[in-house]
A and B are shown apart, each in its own frame.
Chain A
Amino acid sequence: MARNSNKINSKEVKIDVHYLTRVEGHGNIVVDVKQGKLAKCEFQVIESPRFFESMLVGRSIWEAQHITSRICGICACGHSLASIKAGEDALGLVPSEEVISLRKLLLHAEIMDSHILHIYFLVAPDLLGIPSVMPLIKTDRPIVEMALRMKRMSDYAGEVLSGRHIHPISYVIGGLTQLPSRDGLEKLYKLMLDARKDGEKTVEILKKLKFPEFQRKTQYMSLTRKDEYALYDGNLTVNGESETGAINYKDLLRETAVEYSRAKIASIKGKPYAVGAIARFNNNFRQLNEKARRAAGEFGLKAPCYNPYLNTAIQLVEWVHCLEESIKIMEKILKSGLREDKIVTNSWPKRSEIGRIRYKPNTGIACVEVPRGSLFHDYSIDERGNITQANCVIPTNQNMGNLEEDMRKLVPELLGKRTQGQITLDLEMLARSYDPCISCSVHLLDVKFVNS
């Protein structure tokens, strides 16, 4: 990427950020200003199509969550839960309240994990003017260690609750295949209590950093519930007005293919919309717990918030909320214990029975709020319980159109005031503030041997 520090002619600007850094996957930013007018403003997703939906077709509904949890290394639990909920919807199964509490706990843990990764390792370098988190290891090692400790707490939650810190294994349709251990739960509870002070310290650190000032009002879509900050379930809500149940998502939002990007652009009523922390915050502010509202106050955040750069600060507010909600759930669990008959599923078919049991052909749809926004899984099954159609609507796709609209408003505001290098960085930071997850990663090392 070129960072030209010369003052620019605001009539002619060409920005081409090839491979935006510190985001998940490959994306380009292309901006072209000709004769003072914005001729092109695109966020191009250049990843190969993933075909995960095609992989699901022909597979049993009972194994879907194990496949979809491998879609993403960051939202593995979210994909798994969306898959399980869609499967239960298709099969007409209703899990117990105890199972739902454990699912909420897992979802809180994943949101905390992802938000801390984004705040410290992906966004903080922008706000500090450093290329990566690496220089901080030398100058502020205790902060880096604290960030790792915060991640460790939420990763450990995955390990204790779902049998594996990533790609949950014991969370399945109908319940869990085994109870989390008492020892593990007690250790997790202690880690959560210890994490409170790290959260407070993080608020202190982040509020000293300056976020760019930019405002654009848009449509904000998220799940909402009257009785809680909706993450696991609720109604689809746009700008505070409850629109519809998640099963009607196709009536609400549209996905359209565009030539320049491999990701579809989503819209509601013909216009782009935002999902994720900022959308949830705007639609559910009153449902945040007291500590989270206090954290929001530290940043001067009020709903509605129209500055997308503040999505990162809102993620920290959500981290505080999720930690306190997790502690409440944990205290209830540790006090009452976990009842095997309420949690361990008895509807899970034996391997030999898969494909032999007859089901009513049906469609199951589910929505879960994952770190980056509303995630939809939509499956149809045949009489053998095999998937005949699958559709996954990913938060990052839903945010693409909105990001481009932000860029279209931002670029003219910056022309004549900022250098080309500064505008480029402003756009990169804007894209990163959405915390896009463009692809699932592949762990392939480029290795060059020194000793051979």
Chain B
Amino acid sequence: MENGKAVVGLGNTLRRDDGIGILILESLSKSYRVKGLDYLDYGIASFDLAHRMRDYEEVLLIDGIDAGRPFAELSIFRLEDAAYTIGGASLSTHGFNVSMLFELYKRLRIKTRIYIAGIQVKDISYGEGLTDELRQRQGYLTKEVSRFIDATLFRKKQ
């Protein structure tokens, strides 16, 4: 184990709302510096997380999700609380995304505790910039994620 805890931003800033994980990570890394907490921008390299996350005791992933929730809603959950689709018996790199990575994690029995801060997105077409509603909520979402880091990763009383 390296530093104990890490916050990882995932997503593609060239696909509109999909960049929300990276943008929140950038905001946090400027406004919320805590000793023993690493910030990692993993962009669109989900598979590489397989060996990086095992360095840590606890990891919080921030990513855009499609969970049928209201647009721009934040859901924070443990990995094992989400059932995810793998896309059939065969692997595809299309399916070799974070959900596939989690399957790999489970089978490798890696002990890292993984939390996901998932933000329901709407527009993931190619282009820069979040949709207006999500951009307006970015500050609020960043604050909520930092509260979670305090309360859960560092066990601070709210």
Contacts and interface: CB of A to CB of B under 8 A. Distances in A.
Contacts of B14: 52, 55, 67, 70-71, 440
Interface string A306-344: 000000000000000000000000000000000000000
A449 B68 CA distance: 10
Contacts of A141: 108
A447 B98 CA distance: 11
Interface in A1-23: 19-23
B158 interface: no
A155 B52 contact: yes
- With most chain B CB atoms within 10 A of its CB, the pick from A73, A144, A164, A166 is A73
A24 interface: yes
Contacts of A74: 45
Contacts of B67: 445-449
Interface string A131-152: 1111001100100110011011
B46 A451 contact: no
A179 B42 CA distance: 21
Contacts of B84: 445-448
Contact of B91 (A132, A152, A447): A132
B47 interface: yes
B63 A152 contact: no
Given A70-B13, A148-B50, A444-B65, A449 B77 contact: yes
Contacts of A149: 51
A441 interface: yes
Interface in B33-59: 41-48, 50-52
A76 interface: yes
Q: Name the residue among B13, B50, B51 with the largest chain A CB count within 10 angstroms.
A: B51
Interface in A56-94: 67, 70-74, 76
Interface string B1-37: 0000000001111110010010000000000000000
A135 to B, nearest CB: 9
Interface residues of B, number: 55
B112 interface: no
A203 to B, nearest CB: 21
Contacts of B47: 117, 121, 151
B93 to A, nearest CB: 4
Residue among A133, A148, A151 with most chain B CB within 10 A: A148
A167 interface: yes
Contact of B104 (A48, A131, A134, A167): A134
B131 interface: no
B81 A165 contact: no
Contacts of B125: 48
Interface string A144-183: 1100110110010000000011110000000000000000
A151 to B, nearest CB: 6
Contact of A443 (B12, B77, B82): B12
Interface string B64-89: 11110000000101000111110011
A75 to B, nearest CB: 11
B42 to A, nearest CB: 6
Contacts of A71: 14
A384 B21 CA distance: 33
Contacts of A48: 125-126
B46 A441 contact: yes
Q: Which of A52, A167, A439, A442 has the most CB of B within 10 A?
A: A442
B91 A131 contact: yes
A25 interface: yes
Q: How large is the interface on A (under 10, 10 to 19, 20 to 34, 35 or more residues)?
A: 35 or more
B144 interface: no
Contact of B48 (A155, A444, A445, A450): A155
Contacts of A448: 67, 82-85
A22 B90 contact: yes
B91 A22 contact: yes
Nearest to A135: B107
A26 interface: yes
B146 interface: no
B92 interface: yes
B114 to A, nearest CB: 12
A73 B44 contact: yes
Contacts of B150: none
A260 interface: no
Nearest to B103: A134
A401 B77 CA distance: 46
Nearest to B18: A442
A152 to B, nearest CB: 4
A117 B50 CA distance: 12
B94 interface: yes
B139 interface: no
A121 B42 CA distance: 20
A443 B91 contact: no
Interface of B: 10-15, 18, 21, 41-48, 50-52, 63-67, 75, 77, 81-85, 88-99, 103-104, 107-108, 116, 118, 121, 124-128
Given A445-B66, A448-B84, 9 more contacts: A19-B94, A51-B127, A52-B14, A134-B107, A137-B104, A166-B44, A442-B15, A445-B116, A449-B75
11 contacts: A21-B90, A50-B126, A52-B126, A122-B91, A132-B91, A152-B51, A440-B14, A443-B46, A446-B67, A447-B83, A449-B75
Please provide the 5 A-B residue pairs with the shortest distance between their CB atoms, ordered closest to farther: A73-B44, A21-B90, A132-B91, A21-B92, A447-B67
